[in-house]
C-alpha cells in the first residue's frame, strides 16, 4: 500500500537520488518498478502532467529492504508529488489517496 501526496513546490531534495542516476545502474530493477508504479499512481490520482524531475529516498525498516519514497517535481508549476509506503502525519492535509 502507498500514500500519495500532492504538495506545494519543493526545491530541496538533499538526501534523495535522482532517477537519472538510478537509470545508469541496471541492478536496481525493484526500484525502477517502484518508480513506474509511482508515476502510474500520480497520473491516475493527482494533477501530475507526466513531466518533471524524479527523486528517490528511503529510510530503514525492520526487514532487509528499506522503505522507499518517490517524489516528482512537476516542471511547469513546481507541484511536488510524493509516494510513501507509510503515512506521513505532518502531510495529512495533502493526502490524495491511499492505494
Each residue's pLDDT, cut to its tens digit, for the chain (99 residues) gives 899 999 999 999 998 988 888 777 666 677 888 899 999 999 999 999 999 999 999 888 888 778 899 999 999 999 999 999 999 999 999 999 886
Question: How many domains is the chain built from?
Answer: 1
Q: Where are the alpha helices (DSSP H) in the chain?
A: 19-23, 29-45
94 in a structural domain: no
8 in a structural domain: yes
Instruction: State the pLDDT at residue 75.
Output: 94
Residue 40: domain span: 3-87
54 in a structural domain: yes
Instruction: State the pLDDT at residue 26.
Output: 61
95 in a structural domain: no
Q: How is residue 7 written as a grid cell? A: 504538495
Cα separation, 54 vs 63, whole angstroms: 25
Give the chain's end-to-end CA distance (angstroms, integer): 5
Inter-CA distances, 86 with 16, 61, 81, 91, Å:
17, 11, 15, 11
Amino acid at each position: 500500500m502507498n500514500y500519495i501526496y500532492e504538495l506545494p513546490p519543493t526545491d530541496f531534495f538533499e538526501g534523495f537520488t535522482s532517477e537519472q542516476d538510478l537509470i545508469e545502474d541496471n541492478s536496481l530493477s525493484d526500484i525502477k518498478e517502484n518508480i513506474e508504479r509511482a508515476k502510474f499512481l500520480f497520473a491516475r490520482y493527482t494533477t501530475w502532467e507526466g513531466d518533471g524531475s524524479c527523486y528517490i529516498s528511503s529510510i530503514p525498516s525492520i526487514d532487509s529492504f528499506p522503505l522507499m519514497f518517490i517524489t516528482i517535481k512537476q516542471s511547469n508549476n513546481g507541484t511536488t508529488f510524493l509516494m510513501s509506503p507509510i503515512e506521513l502525519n505532518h502531510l495529512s492535509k495533502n493526502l490524495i489517496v491511499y492505494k
